Amino acid sequence: MATEAVTQPRERPEWIDFLISQMIALTGAFAFAALIGAVIVIAYGEDPVFVYRTVWAFGTSRPQDFAIVLENATPLIYSGLAVAVAFKAGLFNIGVEGQYIVGMAAAAGAAIYMSGLPTALLLPLVVVAAMAGAMLWAAVPAVLKVKTGAHEVVTTIMMNGIAVSLVAWLILHPLRSDVTTTDLRTEDFPQSALVPNLATSLGIEDVIPDSIVHLTWLFPIALVVCVAVWFMMFRTRLGYEVRAVGSSPGSAEAGGVSIGGTQIKIFLMSGALAGLVGLNHILGDTGYLGSNYETGLGFSGIAVAFLGRNHPAGIPLAAILFGMLLRGQDGLAILTELPIEILIILQGILILSVVVAYELVSRALARRRQAQLGQAAS
Amino acid sequence: MPLIDLGAAIALGLRYFTIIYLTGLGGLFSERSGIVNIGLEGMMIVGTVMGAWGTVTYGPVAGLVTGAAAGLLFSLVHALATVTFKVDHIVSGVVINLVAVGLARFLSQLFFGQATQSDPGIPDFATINIPLLSSLPLGLGQAFKGMSPVVLVAFLMTIPALFVLNRTRFGLRLRSAGENPEAAASLGVRVWPLRYAGVAISGALAGLAGAFLAIEINGLFREGQTQGLGFIALAALILGNWQPLRLMAGALLFGIAQAIPLRLNDAPVVNLLPEEFIRMIPYVVTIIAIAGFVGRVQPPAAAGRAYEGAAT
Amino acid sequence: MAEPATGDDAERSGVPLIALHQVTKRFPGVVANDAVDLTLEKGEIHALIGENGAGKSTLMRVLYGLYPPDGGRIEVRGKEVKINSPRAALALGIGMVHQHFVLVDRFTVAENIILGAEGGSLVDLDRAVKDIEEQAQGYGFKVDARKRIDDLSVGEQQRVEILKALFRGVDVLILDEPTAVLTPAETKDLFENLRALKDDGKTIVFISHKLDEVLAIADRITVLRRGKVVGETTPSDTSKERLAEMMVGREVLFRLEKPDVDSGEPLLQVEGLNLAGKLHDVDLRVAAGEILGIAGVEGNGQRELAEVLIGLRPPDSGRITLDGKDITGRSVRQNRSLGCAFVPEDRHERGLVLNMTLWENSVLGQQSRAQYLGGWGALAIKKIKELARRLIKEFDVRARSIGNEASTLSGGNQQKLILARELENDPRLLIAQQPTRGLDVGAIEFVWKQILEQKEAGRAVLLISAELDEIYELSDRIVTIYEGRITGEYSPQDPPEKIGIGMTGGRGAQREAS
């Protein structure tokens, strides 16, 4: 075996290669989706450039518009994080949808029954209640998976269905408002339970009217949570074990990691994050929980997670993109004859292309690495 | 509770059985060829909207055909992603489901002028009465009166399904692709066409089931009408250990469970629960079923794993 | 060029059945086959030998159409052919049985054999069973074509693989390391079958690195080294030592310096270990400064034994004592903290997390120790990276940066990293399972030296291996394992035939025909 020092050629560190490959994948996927979108738009007799510009403009022309984009993005960041942390352990949490609505119901319960407390106590309590409710909801599929092997995709979807009925019952019975008789909703939450509007706090509500834009402190908090999740995942022992389990459970186990225990812990954490998804809606926008609460945030979170490569740095960016597309729908409805469903299709195509592009790029990168490895060995 | 209700519940349960069984059977072909397909719900959704359109335009039989065709075409996306591009099967399935919702809205807007539903009252099939069984005493005969012919078709599908799987070259090769694709390839069998076929069959059957749902149960296309039935079909497949006859048993169980909140609200025990809780019953039944049985089932050995070899 | 001769003409005119001329195959960074010339005659058993990585499997895979050659040509019965798929190879009468069987476990023997050659779009299993059993009998095999593969023994499964090829009418049968998974008795049966096939005019290519077997069965022997043919001979013209020298290119030491250490009290004591279906009443003891070799053909409970000892699963009954302390049923984490180390058989499934960086892999198994943790559950990244750099330097792991993923290391370097990591904390007990599988000679010597150093340092080593050479090389005492039972205790002075008896079921015990 040769023992002389072999000068290895200076190589780009791996993470740069990785970043470059992700950029290539994203660009390719976006280009492809934009192309398909353009084709569809032309088929409708509209101008694709105009359409894309409208979407862009509706999200960026005034500070107020961008604020709406960020407002849209806020729940998606939490939702994307929830899906992503579970995915790192190899688990699919499709149940964020059900978890967040249970979270909202729990938050509503806390806000209503503890309404006497001052803000400093009530608001955190409400938030914790949301997280706890969602965690409880996530615990069922988690424990079933670990104890019986029941596939979490099926169980979480079933839990979603149960959640809808459960929350409906809660809104109509124990939490029902005595005051209003026609609407199906809870009472208004006390002011002390609501999350302050960001524009109001910063004193810029003349530029960003708080009656239209409900961008709250939950947005910057979401960014902080992203950093915290990054730290947890890449700098703590728990995150290390989660990634090991998700990547190579056999080796993790031989390294002393408890697979089931780790899976349950991370699924609960995923649930906790899911609990935050609905808060901007009920604590920053409506101020109550109505039976027509906002739905779909759990599923959009899956799309956001995939688009953001399941990484705490990519997720907020993906969420903002989605926020922009959501905002752009309004623009399209006003300024064009296009059915807004086009954007939904585009989102779908985008996700598909992104997923395929990532796969192709990872494999190409792996092949290149293998080749380099072979060269070094000769 | 009069037995007439039980009979009506069974009748409705059989219709839900049809959906779950057909979808599950499709999923069986896909998974036994090695491709995990959790996008069945999405393929079913595409079947609902296109089936509704086909029925409104040409009639219920055409509706079933367009639903199946739409499901098949849509499933090719999943096949392309998983077989050719080797994307993780579950990731692809999840994405397929997301895309399907948007696609359905788009198509609904296109064909019906409304994004989330068609107009109600689309034509359905003439019903049939099963000769001996529909005269069962105590109201049980109700279960076999006014039955949709498609229910019978679903039952009868078992025969060609079993035959193809166990007695044809295609079936042998398809199963080998799902158990050990390397072994198949080493013998000159081409794996990717078999997997495409498996996925296509699942798309067609799920689409057919979706069309049936729209035509025979709901009478229209409506967003969200699939209500997780695609996943319940998956659960039935798991419960059935990926075999047609056991799948049938699971589908019957889950089909009846679906009917409980719709026809058995006044049954003893059930009527003690608030209405919302009764609606949870199908989901709870599914969870209990797969939690209880999963340890004892064995999926096809190579399902979920990308086949890395060069296509021979 | 002469008129291409075909078929019987070819035989009569002396044209070999198969001729490989200057066949070359390259992979990124390595030339696996370098201008290889090889001929195969009708009715012979031709052994192809070389060490790991010499190119013998690759060459035969080229012949079987799994890899396209980068240079040279192949002639079958004097005619040049292009073989670009196994289907094409089979059409030419060339069949291959791989080292790792490609059988569908849940299918029956008959289904496996007819797959791809069903003879029509409908499948008639009854007829297939009849045809297969008839053909098998004709060659002196016995087989129940209705049995499922996972109900068969390894030797029986191999016979199914052979029948698969014969069913397709092959004239040439390539066997890749066929005896790696057989007991000595099954090997004897196989050799009988091969001779019967040879007498029937078939050609057998026997790829192996087991020189004794090769000398016993082959008519001709071709030796490969680093992709080139370095010699061709017959058993009567050569010896084991000469073959080994040709294979490796230098004089091979068959004996390493084994230090003599006074072993004392048993450090590890195993009593009455039972694991349903896999381990029966296993008793073992290993003293400090001793290497106990557990010899046996793979699949006889070795994996389960290692996993129970390290704590990956609890035994159904029995006791494990380490240094006087009862550790039965303790978790992997607890056992590691008590000084157990584990080098697994499968580097990828039990050793490293390939997607993670080298520094992350360096701490796997120790990530719960205070020295690698900071506050808030955070990892002490700096300390871990220091650890990684040290491990890589001490064990000469060839890596560009500790930030690279573990998948970028070669097999030998991966094994070295695992070894470095496991030995880092001065374990009292090292459990090494097939520690040199798939490694080249240099890496094998390195690993062996490390294991001997552990012995010198007074640790106990449990060496589980299917390679008798390795067992002999390192062990102070040897036990054999068969079907989950410890069947005999031997010393390295005992000849392999004696140990072979233990590997097959006991001291001279007759094996019932199963």
How much is the pLDDT for A89?
A: 94
- Mark yes or no for CB contact C403/A238 under 8 Å: no
User: Which residues, listed in sequence order, are joined to residue C268 by a DSSP beta bridge?
Assistant: C286, C322
Same domain, yes or no: C67 and C121: yes
Cβ contact, residue pair C29, A374, below 8 Å = yes
- B179: nearest CA in chain C? C104
Q: How far is A360 from chain C (nearest CA, A)?
A: 17
Contacts of B189 in chain C (CB under 8 A): 115-116
Q: How far apart are CA C64 and CA A187, in angstroms?
A: 76
- pLDDT beyond 50 at C215: yes
Summarize the confidence of residues C165-193 as an average pLDDT: 88
Residue A353, domain member (yes or no): no
When scoring B88, B91, B97, B293 by the number of chain A Cβ atoms within 10 A, the one with the most, hence best to mutate, is B91
Residues C135 and C189 reside in one and the same domain: yes
Q: Is A14 in contact with C357 (Cβ distance < 8 A)? A: yes
Measured between CB atoms, does A261 come within 8 Å of chain C? no
Substitution target in C83, C123, C126 with the highest count of B β-carbons within 10 Å is C123
Is position C190 within any domain? yes
Name the maximum alpha-carbon separation found in chain A.
86
Asked whether residue A214 is domain-assigned, the answer is yes
Closest Cα to residue B185, out of B311, B43, B68?
Answer: B311
Specify if C277 maps to a domain: yes
Record: contact A251-C310, CB cut-off 8 A: no
Quick check: helix, strand or coil at residue C397? Answer: coil
Length of chain A: 378
CB A114 within 8 Å of CB A190: no
Q: CB distance from A373 to chain C under 8 Å?
A: yes
Domain contains A241: yes
B53 vs B42: CA distance, rounded Å: 17
Provide Rg for chain C, Cα atoms.
25
CB contact under 8 A, B168 and C87: no
Contact (CB<8Å) A348/B109: no
Residue C347: inside a domain, yes or no? Answer: no
Facing residue for A341 by CB, picked from B105, B277, B284: B105
Is A48 a member of any domain? no
Evaluate whether B71 touches B203 at the Cβ level (below 8 Å).
yes
Which phi and psi (to 5°) does residue A291 adopt? -70, -5
Q: Which residue of B has its CA nearest to A93?
A: B94
| Per-residue model confidence (pLDDT) at position C164 | 92
Distance separating alpha carbons of residues A358 and B226, to the nearest angstrom: 31
> What whole-number distance in Å separates Cα of residue B305 and Cα of residue B36?
9
The helix (H) or strand (E) run that includes residue C445 is helix C441-456
Residues C203 and C297 grouped into a single domain: no
Q: Tell me whether residue C433 is in a domain.
A: yes
User: Using CB atoms, which residue from C28, C355, C365 is nearest to A256?
Assistant: C365
Asked if the C-beta of A235 comes within 8 angstroms of chain C's C-beta atoms, the answer is: yes
- Let me know if residue C2 belongs to a domain: no
- Residue A177 has which token pair? 């408002």
Residue C344 lies in a domain: no
Are residues C106 and C133 located together in one domain of the fold?
Answer: yes
* pLDDT tens profile C414-467: 999 999 999 998 899 999 999 988 787 778 888 999 999 998 888 999 999 988
| Local confidence band at C261 (pLDDT 50, 70, 90 cut-offs) | low
Residues in chain C closer than 8 A to A372 (CB atoms): 28-29, 408
Best B41, B92, B106, B110 member to test A by mutation, with max A CBs in 10 Å, is: B106
Residue of C nearest to A8 (CA): C400
Strand C429-433 relative to strand C325-326, pairing:
unpaired
Cβ contact B179–C87 (<8 Å) = no
B13, B258 in Cβ contact below 8 A?
Answer: yes
Q: Which of A144, A154, A341 sits opposite B234 (nearest CB)?
A: A154
pLDDT at C258: 66
What are the φ/ψ torsions at residue C332 (nearest 5 degrees)?
-60, -40
Strands C317-322 and C291-295: unpaired
**Which residue out of B23, B88, B98 would a mutagenesis test of the A interface target, given it has the greatest number of A Cβ atoms within 10 Å?**
B98
Report yes or no on A376 lying in a domain.
Answer: no
Distance CA A257, CA A269 (A): 18
CA dist A201 and A218 (Å) reads 12
Answer yes or no: do C28 and A375 touch at CB < 8 A.
yes
- Dump pLDDT digits (tens) for B230-274: 999 999 999 899 999 999 999 999 999 998 888 877 777 777 888
- pLDDT class for A376, splitting at 50, 70, 90? very low
Query: Does residue A257 sit within a domain?
Result: yes
Whether C474 and C415 share a structural domain: no
Task: Please calculate the CA angle B97-B102-B108 and round it to the nearest 5 degrees.
Answer: 120
> At A236, phi and psi to the nearest 5?
-115, 165
Nearest CA in chain C to A4: C396
Q: How far apart are CA B175 and CA B34, in angstroms?
A: 8
CB contact under 8 A, B103 and A349: no
Which of C410, C425, C440 is the C-terminal boundary of a domain?
C425
C371-414, pLDDT tens digit by residue? 899 888 899 999 999 999 999 998 988 888 888 888 888 888 89
Residue type, C404: N
Chain B contact present for C38, CB below 8 A: no
Residues of A in contact with B102 (CB under 8 A): 341, 344-345, 347-348
- Of the listed ranges A199-213, B55-69, C332-346, the least confidently predicted one is A199-213
Count the neighbouring beta carbons within 10 Å of the beta carbon of residue A311. Answer: 20
User: Which token pair is C58?
Assistant: 């690759």
Q: Based on the domain organization, do C414 and C449 belong to the same domain?
A: no
CATH number at C93 reads 3.40.50.300
Is residue C349 included in any domain, yes or no? no
In a domain, A252, yes or no: yes
For residue C110, the chain B residue with the least C-alpha distance is B172
Instruction: Look at C116 and B312 and tell me if their CB atoms are within 8 Å.
Output: no
Pairs of CB atoms within 8 A across A/C: 116
Q: What is the CATH number of the domain that holds A111?
A: 1.10.3470
| 8 A C-beta contact, residue B237 and residue B31 | yes
One domain for residues C237 and C262 = no
A154·B235 Cβ contact <8 A: yes
Using pLDDT thresholds of 50, 70 and 90, give the confidence band for residue A365.
confident
Q: From B129, B197, B111, B152, select the one nearest B22 (Cα to Cα).
A: B152
Compare CB distances from A378 to C30, C312, C446 and report the shortest one's residue. Answer: C30
Instruction: Give backbone dihedrals phi and psi of B199, rounded to 5 degrees, phi first.
Output: -65, -40
Q: From CA B254, how far away is CA B20, in angstroms rounded?
A: 8
- Is residue A128 domain-resident? yes
Question: What are the tokens at B188?
Answer: 């000159």
Range of the domain at C297: 256-339+427-514
State pLDDT tens for residues A63-102.
888 999 999 999 999 999 999 999 999 999 999 999 999 9
Of A95-104, A282-291, B140-149, C47-56, least confident by mean pLDDT is B140-149
Confirm whether C284 is domain-assigned. yes
Looking from the CA of C20 toward its CB, the CA atoms found within 13 Å total 25
Domain containing A71 equals 67-319
Q: What is the pLDDT along chain B (312 residues), one digit of tens a residue?
A: 566 678 888 889 999 999 999 999 999 999 999 999 999 999 999 999 999 999 989 988 999 999 999 999 999 999 999 999 999 899 899 989 988 998 998 899 888 887 788 778 777 777 777 776 766 766 677 777 778 889 989 999 999 999 999 999 999 999 999 999 989 988 888 999 999 999 999 999 999 999 999 998 988 899 989 999 999 999 999 989 999 999 999 999 999 999 888 887 777 777 788 888 989 999 999 999 988 876 667 788 888 777 765 433
Check CB contact under 8 Å for C107 and B189: no
Assign domain B3-296 one CATH number from 1.10.3470, 1.10.150, 1.10.1740, 2.60.20: 1.10.3470
Determine the Cα–Cα distance for residues A325 and A318; give it in Å rounded to an integer: 11
User: Which pLDDT score is estimated for A377?
Assistant: 41
Q: Is C68 touching B (CB cutoff 8 A)?
A: no
- The yes-or-no verdict on residue C252 having pLDDT over 70 is no
Strand partners, C340: C429
- A-chain CB neighbours of B286 within 8 Å are 154, 158
The DSSP symbol for C461 reads: E
| CA-based nearest residue in chain C for residue A236 | C378
Q: Which of C425, C453, C474 is the last residue of a domain?
A: C425
Nearest to C405 among A6, A8, A14 (CB): A14
Q: Which of B103, B110, B287 sits opposite A155 (nearest CB)?
A: B287
Average pLDDT over residues A114-121: 86
Least confident of A138-147, B225-234, C134-143: C134-143
Residue numbers in A near B91 (CB within 8 A) = 306, 355
Question: Residue C275's beta-bridge partner residues?
Answer: C279
ipTM of the complex: 0.86
Q: How many residues does chain C have?
A: 514
Total domains in the fold of chain A: 1
CB pair distance less than 8 Å for B176 and C103: no
Domain boundaries, chain B: 3-296
Instruction: Find all residues with CB under 8 Å of B268, minimum gap 6, and list them.
Output: B1
Say whether both C124 and C215 belong to one domain. yes
**Best mutation target, B169, B182, B308, to test chain C (most C CBs within 10 A):** B169
pTM given for the model? 0.86
Please indicate, yes or no, whether residues C84 and C230 belong to a single structural domain of this protein.
yes
Closest Cα in chain A, distance from residue C201 (Å): 41
Residue C270 parent element (H or E): strand C266-275
Is B179:B45 a contact under the CB 8 Å cutoff? no
For the sheet with C172-176, list strands across it. Answer: C94-97, C172-176, C203-208, C45-49, C220-225, C228-233
Asked if C116 lies within 8 A of B170 by C-beta distance, the reply is no
Phi-psi group of C376: left, alpha or beta (phi > 0 → left; psi -120 to 50 → alpha; rest → beta): left
Interface test with B, best of A344, A353, A354 (most B CBs within 10 A): A344
Residues ≥6 apart with Cβ < 8 Å to B309: B181, B182, B185, B191
Asked whether the predicted pLDDT for residue A4 surpasses 60, the reply is: no
Residue A222 pLDDT level (bands cut at 50, 70, 90): very high
Residue (of C13, C170, C173) closest to C79 by Cα position:
C13
Last residue of one domain, picked from the residues C389, C410, C425:
C425
Q: Are C430 and C459 in contact (CB under 8 A)?
A: yes
Q: Are B187 and C122 an interchain contact pair (Cβ–Cβ within 8 Å)?
A: no
Q: Report chain B residues touching chain A, CB-CB < 8 A.
A: 38, 77, 81, 85-88, 90-92, 94-95, 98-99, 101-103, 105-106, 109-110, 115, 227-228, 231-232, 234-235, 238, 274-277, 279-280, 282-284, 286-287, 290-292, 294-295
* Residue of A93, A96, A97, A157 for testing the chain B interface, max B β-carbons within 10 Å: A157
Q: d(Cα C351, Cα C345) in Å, to the nearest integer? A: 8
